Every structure is written in C-alpha cells, then in structure tokens.
C-alpha cells in the first residue's frame, strides 16, 4: 500500500512528489500533456524556486528575457510599458526538468488517467486509473489532486464547493518573422522583445497575450467558457490581422481550461484523506492567471505538514493563509485592469509606466 498517491505531475505534483520522497511511499500518476501556458516565471515563482533550492537549468530558458510588459488597450489604442522582472522559459522543458528531479523511490506511472476512488475501511482509499489503456487500482492512505483546472479529484470529492470562474485558454504558435507587420514599431511595442498583454472587453473580460520565444511568438487569450469561445478568439485574430499582423498559419495549437478565483470560497484545499494543490485547489492569480508560484507554494506547504499520521489538514490550511490572502488582494486590481473606462484613465496618467523609445 502507498502512503500518498498524487494525481498530476505538473509543477505542483512533481514538487510534492520530490519533497515527500524518502519519507513515505509515493505513487505519482503522470499523464503527459502540453500545458496551455505563456511560460513566464514571475518574481514570486523565482523566489519559490530559490526556497526549494532549485536553480533553473539553462536549457529551460527562452529568448528574449523581457524587462517589461507592454499593456495594449485595443479599444482606446493606448500602449504603456511597465517594468517587470520576469524570466521567459520553455514550459515543456521546465516541466520535464521538475519531473527529472524526482528520486527513484517514487513510483511514477506514465500514460495514466485517474478515474475514481472508494473508501476501504477507515484509513485507506482504493484508487482506480487507466495505465496504457488498462484499468488498474492501488490502495493508498492519502490522495492529492494536482490535476489542474479540470481536476477529476476535485469534482469527485468536493462537488459542494463552488468552482472558480472558468475560462478557455487558447494559444497558437507562429514563426515570429512571418506574422509581424512591417510597420510594427508604429504601435509603440517591440513585439520581438516585449511580453504583450492585450485588453479588449468586446472579446473577453480577461486578457490576451503575445510572447516572443526563440524566434517564435505565442498568440493566445483567456476567454469565458461558452458556446462562442472560438468565435471570440477568431474575432481577436481578425482585428489584429486588419492592422497588419498575419496570424493565419500556426504550426502548433494548444487549448485548455483555466480557473479564475474571483472569491475566496472558490478555493478548496481539501481535508482528512484528500487534498488539493495548485490550480486544482483554485490557487491561481485572478488578475494575471499566473499559477506556477501558487503550485510550488502549495506543494511545499503540504509537504511540510506530513508526519507519522499523514498530512495535517489544519496546518496546511493555516500555512496557506498568506497565499490565499495575497490572491484575494489581487482581485483589487481587476477594476483597474479590466474595466475599460477606468483602465483608460489609469493608462492616460502614465502612472508607474516607463518612457520608451523603440
């Protein structure tokens, strides 16, 4: 019997598995998939990597390394630059690197899909999963859902907890030189070197993005989930193509569901025998959709509570109070960032913006 089964091997699951190795028997269910993610490490993520004594490998870095974010309001046609100390990464390499750090005593099952669990006695769960399309089961003392916004674990055990608002994240990859308009400097944005946040309330009440990576560029957006999701993304593409971009022939497409916790009660950490970490718990920034730092943080603090009796539920909840409070404070940015009139007024003031000559 295993002490802990972890569903999902993204930053949250891989980090928890590494931290628990040597202390208990760990089963990690790993279903390889490409994450729909811009691949930017915020200062908070960088601090957590340092706290975990991890140095980012050179091969995980992507060029360029942006020193600022260009905020582009398509409705008002305003552009402002804001200093940010981000690290541009290759998300696939980053995820593989975190998995590679897991010691050999962790039982990693690849090509698996978690299905369901049932309680066996008072201190054991039997979990069922498909491994290479064959149904299998194992008995575990504790189950941890690290399976993102589409978390099967959360839907199975915490159906009474409201889910955060859901968005469809869609992004496409292009060769950078093939899509930029010849006169792109007239926009005031250096698309070869800037992280670009695009705001247009006619398309989404969240935002879209352009991120250069190694002579390629990601064009994506987070759009409220619904019947018109793809239509809204296509409308954004048409708008950009009308001003000179050529977002037509992508060589890679990615899509997935994204949580946006707009109230504190949509965050669910679990209790007793089943716990949630990372985006499965709803731990993701409601203003930027950044989820790597909350994933690493929640994995770290859940591991800290593990002892001879297993996970300490009350200690885990207590340890994450600061993170939950920080995420809740980020909702204060929402009117300034996402209400068109107020965003325009703030951008017109130039408050905290950089003067920029291309």
For the 2-58+91-163+262-332 domain, the top CATH level (class) is alpha beta
- CA-based nearest residue to 197, from 299, 325, 68: 68
The pTM score is 0.95
Cα separation of the two ends of the chain: 61
The pLDDT of residue 316 is 97
DSSP strand pairing (195-199 vs 125-131): unpaired
CATH architecture under which domain 65-87+165-260 falls: 2-Layer Sandwich (3.30)
User: Cα(145)–Cα(13) distance, rounded to whole angstroms?
Assistant: 8
Q: CB atoms < 10 A from the CB of 122, how many?
A: 6
The pLDDT of residue 132 is 86
Phi, psi of 128 (to 5 degrees): -120, 135
User: Cα(164)–Cα(156) distance, rounded to whole angstroms?
Assistant: 16
Structure tokens at 38: 């811009």
User: Cα(199)–Cα(337) distance, rounded to whole angstroms?
Assistant: 8
The pLDDT of residue 354 is 52
One pLDDT digit (tens) per residue for the chain, 358 residues: 999 999 999 999 999 999 999 999 999 999 877 778 899 999 999 999 999 999 999 999 999 998 889 999 999 999 999 988 999 999 999 999 999 999 999 999 999 999 999 999 888 999 999 998 899 999 999 999 999 999 999 999 999 999 999 999 999 999 999 999 877 767 788 999 999 999 999 999 999 999 999 999 999 999 999 889 999 999 999 999 998 999 999 999 999 999 999 999 999 999 889 999 999 999 999 999 999 999 999 999 999 999 989 999 999 999 999 999 999 999 998 998 999 999 999 899 876 665 544 3
Question: Which residues is 354 bridged to in the sheet?
Answer: 81
Task: Identify the DSSP state of 353.
Answer: P
Q: Please report, for the chain, the start and end positions of each structural domain, with discontinuous segments joined by +.
A: 2-58+91-163+262-332, 65-87+165-260
């Amino acid at each position: 019997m295993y002490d802990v089964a972890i569903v999902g091997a993204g930053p949250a699951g891989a980090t928890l598995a590494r931290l628990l190795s040597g202390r208990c028997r760990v089963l990690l269910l790993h279903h390889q998939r490409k994450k729909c993610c811009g691949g930017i490490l915020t200062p908070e993520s960088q601090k957590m990597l340092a706290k975990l004594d991890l140095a980012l490998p050179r091969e995980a870095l992507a060029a360029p390394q942006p020193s600022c974010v260009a905020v582009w309001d398509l409705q008002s046609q305003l552009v402002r630059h804001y200093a940010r100390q981000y690290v541009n990464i290759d998300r696939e390499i980053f995820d593989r690197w975190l998995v590679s750090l897991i010691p050999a005593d962790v039982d990693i099952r690849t090509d698996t899909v978690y299905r369901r669990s049932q309680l066996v006695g008072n201190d054991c769960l039997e979990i069922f999963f498909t491994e290479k399309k064959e149904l299998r089961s194992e008995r575990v003392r504790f189950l941890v859902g690290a399976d993102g916004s589409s978390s099967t674990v959360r839907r199975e055990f915490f159906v009474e907890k409201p889910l955060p608002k859901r968005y469809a994240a869609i992004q496409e990859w292009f060769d950078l030189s093939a899509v930029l308009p010849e006169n792109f400097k007239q926009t005031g944005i250096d698309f070869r070197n800037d992280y670009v946040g695009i705001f247009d309330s006619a398309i989404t009440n969240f935002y879209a993005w352009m991120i250069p990576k190694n002579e390629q560029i990601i064009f994506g957006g987070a759009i409220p989930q619904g019947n018109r999701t793809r239509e809204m993304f296509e409308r954004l593409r048409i708008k950009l193509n009308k001003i000179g971009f050529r977002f037509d022939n992508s060589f890679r497409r990615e899509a997935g569901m994204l949580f946006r916790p707009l109230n504190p009660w949509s965050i669910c950490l679990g209790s007793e025998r089943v716990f949630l970490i990372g985006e499965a718990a709803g731990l993701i920034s409601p203003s930027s959709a950044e989820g790597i730092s909350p994933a690493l943080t929640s994995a770290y603090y859940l591991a800290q509570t593990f002892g001879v009796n297993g996970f300490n539920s009350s200690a885990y909840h207590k340890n994450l109070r600061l993170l939950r409070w920080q995420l809740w404070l980020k909702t204060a940015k929402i009117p300034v960032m996402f209400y068109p009139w107020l965003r325009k007024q703030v951008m017109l003031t130039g408050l905290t913006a950089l003067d920029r000559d291309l």
